[in-house]
Structure 1
Amino acid sequence: MPNTVSPPFVPYRIRVAVPAHVYDCFDYQISAEDYEQAKVGARVAVPFGSRNLIGVVMQKLTPDTPENPKFKLKPIQALLDDDAILDNKVLTLLTWAAQYYQFPIGEVMQSALPTLLRQGKPYDLLAHMWRLLDQHAEDKIKRSEKQQLAYKILKLHPAGTSENILNLAGIETATLKALEKKGICEAYLEQKDFSPQALSLAQMPLTANPDQKHAIQQVLKSLSSYHAYLLDGLTGSGKTEVYLQIMYEVLKQGKQVLVLVPEIGLTPQTISRFQSRFHCHIALLHSGLTDAKRLQAWQSAQMGKASIILGTRSAIYTPLHNLGLIILDEEHDLSFKQQEGFRYHARDVALYRAHLENCPIILGSATPSMESYALADQGKLTRLELNERAGTALLPKLHILDLKVGRKQHGFSQFLLDEMHRRLARKEQVLIFLNRRGYAPVLICESCAWQAKCPHCDANFTLHTQPYQHLHCHHCGTIHRMPDHCPQCHHTELKPIGMGTAKVEESLKELFPEFEVIRVDRDSTSRVGSWQKIYDRIQKSEPIILLGTQMLAKGHHFPYVSLVAILDIDSGLLSVDFRAPERTAQLIVQVAGRAGRGEKKGDVYLQTLRPEHPLLHTLVDGDYRQFARQTLKERQQALFPPYRYAALIRCESKSQEQNQQYLTEHAQQLRQISELNIDIWGPIPAPMERKAGRYQAHMVLFSQDRARLHYYLRAWWQNMLQHKPASMKLSLDIDPQELS
């Protein structure tokens, strides 16, 4: 009998993106049966080192795919999904984002999943339900504390709640089954209905003015193909009405609309506008939701039940059943740029997603970013202008108030106080803007000039008076009790210097005791629903004084505000960051845009010690577009973004010398391999050199060729990470928006 040679055993393999800070995917063994069932885009439980992780299947490998001899393949632990939960287009988008922002692919994949799915919870988390049958069963469960707890929680959910939500609350399934045997509760399966609602209008559209009509018609021409638009509309010019009329045509086709807003604070206002116009399912996606509600909204978007998906920046990665339009409102806003970890910019990712989905995208703003203006100049965005306010409203008039002359009270010019009195007496509303929360930014000893500084950062403590007097570092989060004497000379007279919103609130209540003062900042709106209550209060035609930080500047409609005052604009005029003038101009125009949106004429007062500053006069005598043209010309001459591409290396360690030495060595390597095609600035200490007890240094890379910059960065950055000391932290920020 002839000898026969058995073919070599080739295990079935899949390639998995695991949520670890490594840049590659990893291969795992899988049984033949599981290989058939596995879907690209589904989750899988895998061993990784000493940990068990939840990864995403990226590829099913064929037997002829060569193995990596460096690694011994481990078998997977379990397939978690019967079907892909991330579709091919979203996988392509996430893979592109990982490559472009040079961030580990597994961690990028995780950013697209709701928390419960990242934790390995079942996709049908919300389907297995429990409800009470007996509302008076206390006597039947006296001996079991577990059953009593389960009974109390079920009583809070008369319509029923999911088994997995109960498990997350600490209620075991065995306890629920014990109650079921006693006839106290029952299990049932919730019927999932992911069919979209029939679309109907709840409210008729407003009559569009000529500019709005032109913008609507232009976008409607390209509903079935990719086209990017910049909706450049003055504050109060009716950008939302343009969105709504275009959305209606998209929704009529049975397609979904993804709307991104910069912050959670804008979602109540935006969703109320959508709900008042359309009868359809709207899914909300933002960090203020519970894990269960976020998963529910994510599923309704993925399955196509939600016609409108409204969310903050991470919603750009949501899988959608039939995407027909993307809208990015307030596109200039810095909140669209993730500043930690995976540092993507939702605007740029949205443009790429629209290209993949072959659908139009609208970037809207009254103060577009310089990047968007440059893209419009290059023909990559079609610019649509709205040049007049909607209805009869007029643009507010800007006035400069020189703080060096005239009387002042509590930091307010007397002229401004008199104007505020006049508006409030006419039952109009006043908005005071100060971009500094807390009571005072400095606490100083009147005897020896000691200042309360954070022991971990190169920064002063901010004095807070609520809910009690304490010192708080806004950079590292350190909190200290308020000292009763100076630690240096033991003098007991410690004086707060400067103004935060809490101190201005105190002053306004003293100056205007007969009027309500409403403070809007992160401290006053931390409770769930607090911002919505404040917003509802502002919509009433009653004289009030609004005081707040940037939360008040972002696209809100306040119809009864006729006077806006910006108290401390000078800090933005003094920054060394080349983007500071742009940010300051945007802030002034956006805050100013809250005035005069109704029937009342609006006025805006800029309090400053630098009344001659050219930026202020450009905005007062011209407009934001004139400022933008001038700024772009200056950027082009200086070869700053958007006329060069940038990458920022942040280095953090226990020693500035270590930072400087490490970055200098690697800068020299990059100069050699890039053949001087990359301009390297630094390394230099960061603007805040010491933060949270560690030293920070920066190095900025510039190139006029984006592809070349990324090409040289890729291998060099991997080498930097591999050889860095264990105690050092490095991060790479592609297209940085801040140099801090």
Structure 2
Amino acid sequence: MTYWPSVVVATPAHSGLAGPLTYRSEQPLAAGNLVRVPLGAREVLGIVWSCPSDPPADCSEEQLRPVSAVLDGLMPLGDGWRQLVAFAARYYQRGLGEMALSVLPPALRDLDNTQLARRLKRLAKVNGSAACPETPVSRPQASAEQQQVLDALGTLDRPALLYGSTGSGKTEVYLRATEQVLQDDPAAQVLVLVPEINLTPQLEERFRQRFEPRHGSAALVSLHSGMTPAQRLQAWLAAHAGTARIVLGTRMAIFASLPGLRLIVVDEEHDPSYKSQEGARYSARDLAVYRAKVESDRGPHPCRVILGSATPSLESWHAAEQGRYRRLAMPGRIGGGELPRLRLVDMNHQPKGATLSPPLLAAMEERIARGEQCLVLLNRRGYAPVLSCDACAWKSQCPHCSAFQVFHKLDRTLRCHHCGFTRRVPRACPDCGNLDIAPIGRGTEQIEEQLAGLLSQAVRPDGTPARVARMDADTTRTKGSLEQQLQALHEGEVDVLVGTQMVAKGHDFRRITLVAGLNVDAALFASDYRAPERLFALLMQAAGRAGRDAGHSGHSEMWVQTWHPTHPLFAALKKHDYPAFAAEQLAEREAAAMPPFGYQALLRADARTQDAAQAYLNGVADAAADLPGRDEVTLYPAVPLPIQRVANVERAQMLVESHSRQALQRFLWAWQPLLLQGRSLPEARGLIRFAVDVDPLAV
């Protein structure tokens, strides 16, 4: 008997083949089976979406190509996983096959049955050797606030927004909630999401200490882009088989195949890193809420989701205000520690040209003398953002981007942080030959150098000089470097740590009592309406690194250098009053019909010229005049992106707004055929690609 499986393959939406393709098979195939099928001259991996026994009416049997092979060593991908992928593809305006295949491990796409069997055998061997008898594990006593939250989680009927101050013990809540789920159901699985790879080592260590003695080392796997293809495949197979009880990962892990999923934790749920900015631009936080609902509707056991943060996103806070989420608060710190006091340094009253104010330096010396640690936050890596010539106004412009190359003094290079182009620092100005070219602005590399000089007389309690270190994307590039730097900080080998935002969230630094924020004013008056929210969250999170040890919390401080000390944001920050800040921001957003009170999408176009990119956008906007629901959306004129050229590609965008999420989605789907046809517009010649970004984070 012949069957006619519908198979999704990796075809992008703009190819015109966004849906499943029909093939021929001599055996019935289950939905979710992985198969190898011919596509053009290639053989590719596909996923069976359905397998009817009736032939399609629009083509003959001879026209359909047979399935080449079935990867029968793997159980089919579950209904819940396929429903999640289908929703993500539909909501974020991507091809179904593009979405489904892009979230599978890359190494899986090239395997045949023999190779797959070898890896499954290896996985079984690892699981067998890792098994161990149940071992009791010591754990700290839960605080009253933690216990109240855990009791509420047991009866939860909607997503939980865990609003806990920094140092309140949110991680212990995650651990105990995970423990309860695994105890109640021997087949249950838990997914824990973190915003960035650098947060995984510390959290993984906490989870391993708690669960490895009882469940074995194979019960927990990590899943993120920093792993090798072989490691990612092994972790994915363990999760898919159900042998990995806990999966810890970044946003990509939301698409892990977890047949026994019962709990999803999204730590630091406010973090913009949960929104992908390339390819399928999905939000892992929002998909976590959707996936929990799907899993709860499908099975006999509920799947709960916990969104945790000291500074929740305004979207989540608003959802809790409306009652769609249940807000669970933990305002106190473990051990009764106090939140750090805010000290605003008015830079208008400091010495001209001072990067670090004298009072701040004096406070740092005092901390170092007591054996305490300091954290200096500057969200800009490199030595200086730009090199400049005073004689002719030359600047270190990237030849391939509309951005400046950043000066890195350590290796004497100019690097573009957008396209990666690197060159040596010129000995003289390339335009006029002037030898006096100088850096403008400051990055973490320069602050580290200046602090080493300014604190050269500061001494530790043992009489040794103070030690300054830096942690950013440059110093943590090599494998294992992040773990080494964190270990050095925890062991007290570093007195002052200079870093970007990567050091401001999630880390448990016990001896830091002073945090300083430099150059924070850039976000106060930015054109992006989300900038104040991001700045407030960053400063609150950074402040939370101080005073986490109750013995030091009484004199922990957050110093912020600013030219605008009377700005309302600092008034809320001084009181650690996130609810007041959120209320003010939500009122402004409501008045302007901005998210979460309005809904947005961006249509982006990349082309060889800016004219072609904008011509394409304006052309497809004109063509949409008669689409159903056009009167419910607003299309703004095309404009260049803030950085309009990257790697010699010109970029433009068009904002689409609506008062209704459903109306926006209906319009975008009706618009898709016109977006494909728009590539043939004569004035859009030179168009390279287009993409739709639903719920964008940067407008």
Alpha-carbon distance change, 659 to 69 in structure 1, aligned in 2, over 3 angstroms? farther
Query: Superposition pairs for residues 454-465 of structure 1, below 5 Å?
Result: 454-465=398-409
* 1:250 aligned partner, one-letter code: V
Is 2:615 the counterpart of 1:661? yes
* 1:727 aligned partner, one-letter code: G
Q: Which residue of 2 aligns with 1:395?
A: 339
* 1:539 aligned partner, one-letter code: H
Q: Which residue of 1 aligns with 2:573?
A: 619
Aligned 8 A contact 1:196 1:304 in 2: no
> How many angstroms does 1:230 deviate by?
0.1
Is 2:36 the counterpart of 1:45? yes
Is 2:163 the counterpart of 1:232? yes
> How many angstroms does 1:691 deviate by?
2.2
Distance across 1 between alignment mates of 2:617 and 2:231: 45
Say which SS state the counterpart of residue 306 (structure 1) adopts.
Answer: coil
Query: Superposition pairs for residues 338-377 of structure 1, below 5 Å?
Result: 338-358=276-296, 359-377=303-321
Distance across 1 between alignment mates of 2:155 and 2:131: 25
For structure 1, which segment, 658-667 or 380-389, has the greater mean C-alpha deviation from structure 2 after superposition? 658-667
Alpha-carbon distance change, 191 to 227 in structure 1, aligned in 2, over 3 angstroms? same
Aligned 8 A contact 1:81 1:123 in 2: no
Say which SS state the counterpart of residue 159 (structure 2) adopts.
Answer: strand
Distance across 2 between alignment mates of 1:250 and 1:686: 46
> How many angstroms does 1:534 deviate by?
1.3
Distance across 2 between alignment mates of 1:67 and 1:462: 58
Distance across 2 between alignment mates of 1:341 and 1:70: 35
Alpha-carbon distance change, 611 to 671 in structure 1, aligned in 2, over 3 angstroms? farther
Distance across 2 between alignment mates of 1:430 and 1:77: 61
Distance across 1 between alignment mates of 2:126 and 2:547: 49
Say which SS state the counterpart of residue 412 (structure 1) adopts.
Answer: coil
Query: Superposition pairs for residues 301-700 of structure 1, below 5 Å?
Result: 301-358=239-296, 359-407=303-351, 411-466=355-410, 468-513=411-456, 514-541=465-492, 544-598=495-549, 599-600=551-552, 601-621=555-575, 623-673=577-627, 674-700=629-655
Say which SS state the counterpart of residue 632 (structure 2) adopts.
Answer: coil
Distance across 1 between alignment mates of 2:625 and 2:396: 43
Question: 2:117 pairs with 99, 108, 124, which one?
Answer: 124
> How many angstroms does 1:193 deviate by?
4.1
* 1:574 aligned partner, one-letter code: F
Say which SS state the counterpart of residue 75 (structure 1) adopts.
Answer: coil
* 2:389 aligned partner, one-letter code: C
Is 2:162 the counterpart of 1:220? no
Distance across 1 between alignment mates of 2:130 and 2:494: 46
TM-superposition CA deviations, 1:384-441 (whole Å, max 9, x none): 0111111131100111111121236761101111110001011100000011011110
Say which SS state the counterpart of residue 576 (structure 1) adopts.
Answer: coil
Say which SS state the counterpart of residue 296 (structure 1) adopts.
Answer: helix
Distance across 2 between alignment mates of 1:204 and 1:471: 50
Aligned 8 A contact 2:620 2:678 in 1: no
Query: Superposition pairs for residues 695-706 of structure 1, below 5 Å?
Result: 695-706=650-661
Aligned 8 A contact 1:257 1:324 in 2: yes
> How many angstroms does 1:275 deviate by?
2.0
Alpha-carbon distance change, 375 to 196 in structure 1, aligned in 2, over 3 angstroms? farther
Say which SS state the counterpart of residue 522 (structure 2) adopts.
Answer: helix
Say which SS state the counterpart of residue 320 (structure 1) adopts.
Answer: coil
Q: Which residue of 1 aligns with 2:70?
A: 79
TM-superposition CA deviations, 1:705-733 (whole Å, max 9, x none): 11111111112123212331573121100
> How many angstroms does 1:70 deviate by?
13
Instruction: Give the length in aligned residue pairs.
Output: 664
Alpha-carbon distance change, 81 to 408 in structure 1, aligned in 2, over 3 angstroms? farther
For structure 1, which segment, 503-512 or 718-727, has the greater mean C-alpha deviation from structure 2 after superposition? 718-727
> How many angstroms does 1:190 deviate by?
4.5
> How many angstroms does 1:544 deviate by?
0.8
Aligned 8 A contact 1:199 1:252 in 2: no
Say which SS state the counterpart of residue 589 (structure 1) adopts.
Answer: helix
Say which SS state the counterpart of residue 395 (structure 1) adopts.
Answer: coil
Alpha-carbon distance change, 521 to 622 in structure 1, aligned in 2, over 3 angstroms? closer
Distance across 1 between alignment mates of 2:690 and 2:607: 9
Distance across 2 between alignment mates of 1:694 and 1:542: 45
Alpha-carbon distance change, 190 to 427 in structure 1, aligned in 2, over 3 angstroms? closer
Q: Which residue of 2 aligns with 1:264?
A: 197
TM-superposition CA deviations, 1:634-668 (whole Å, max 9, x none): 10111000111111111121222222222222223
> How many angstroms does 1:18 deviate by?
0.7
Aligned 8 A contact 2:3 2:55 in 1: no
Distance across 1 between alignment mates of 2:483 and 2:497: 15
Alpha-carbon distance change, 229 to 68 in structure 1, aligned in 2, over 3 angstroms? farther
Say which SS state the counterpart of residue 453 (structure 1) adopts.
Answer: coil
Aligned 8 A contact 2:20 2:97 in 1: no
Aligned 8 A contact 1:403 1:607 in 2: yes
Aligned 8 A contact 2:469 2:494 in 1: no
Is 2:237 the counterpart of 1:299? yes
> How many angstroms does 1:549 deviate by?
0.5
For structure 1, which segment, 690-699 or 233-242, has the greater mean C-alpha deviation from structure 2 after superposition? 690-699
Q: Which runs of 5+ in 1 are unaligned?
A: 1-9, 130-161, 163-188
Aligned 8 A contact 1:196 1:306 in 2: no
Question: 1:287 pairs with 222, 225, 250, which one?
Answer: 225
Aligned 8 A contact 2:598 2:659 in 1: yes
> How many angstroms does 1:191 deviate by?
7.8
Alpha-carbon distance change, 405 to 712 in structure 1, aligned in 2, over 3 angstroms? same
Say which SS state the counterpart of residue 74 (structure 1) adopts.
Answer: coil
Query: Superposition pairs for residues 158-237 of structure 1, below 5 Å?
Result: 190=125, 193=128, 200-209=135-144, 211-222=145-156, 227-237=158-168
Distance across 1 between alignment mates of 2:2 and 2:650: 49
Say which SS state the counterpart of residue 635 (structure 2) adopts.
Answer: strand
Distance across 1 between alignment mates of 2:612 and 2:355: 44
Aligned-CA RMSD value: 2.2
> How many angstroms does 1:362 deviate by?
0.3
Comparing both structures, which one devotes a greater share of its residues to helix?
2
Say which SS state the counterpart of residue 18 (structure 2) adopts.
Answer: coil
For structure 1, which segment, 681-690 or 432-441, has the greater mean C-alpha deviation from structure 2 after superposition? 681-690
Alpha-carbon distance change, 256 to 200 in structure 1, aligned in 2, over 3 angstroms? farther
Say which SS state the counterpart of residue 640 (structure 1) adopts.
Answer: coil
- Percent identity, aligned pairs only, is 40
Aligned 8 A contact 1:656 1:685 in 2: yes
Distance across 2 between alignment mates of 1:199 and 1:228: 32
* 1:702 aligned partner, one-letter code: E
* 1:303 aligned partner, one-letter code: A
Aligned 8 A contact 1:203 1:276 in 2: no
* 1:105 aligned partner, one-letter code: L
Q: Which residue of 1 aligns with 2:300?
A: none
Aligned 8 A contact 1:663 1:683 in 2: yes
Alpha-carbon distance change, 636 to 421 in structure 1, aligned in 2, over 3 angstroms? same
Say which SS state the counterpart of residue 328 (structure 1) adopts.
Answer: strand
Distance across 1 between alignment mates of 2:126 and 2:393: 69
Alpha-carbon distance change, 622 to 516 in structure 1, aligned in 2, over 3 angstroms? closer
Say which SS state the counterpart of residue 93 (structure 2) adopts.
Answer: coil
Distance across 2 between alignment mates of 1:426 and 1:26: 66
> How many angstroms does 1:201 deviate by?
4.2
Is 2:689 the counterpart of 1:738? no
Alpha-carbon distance change, 621 to 202 in structure 1, aligned in 2, over 3 angstroms? closer
> How many angstroms does 1:64 deviate by?
5.2
For structure 1, which segment, 60-69 or 356-365, has the greater mean C-alpha deviation from structure 2 after superposition? 60-69
Alpha-carbon distance change, 541 to 495 in structure 1, aligned in 2, over 3 angstroms? closer
Q: Which runs of 5+ in 2 are unaligned?
A: 297-302, 457-464
TM-score of the aligned structures, taking structure 1 as reference length: 0.86
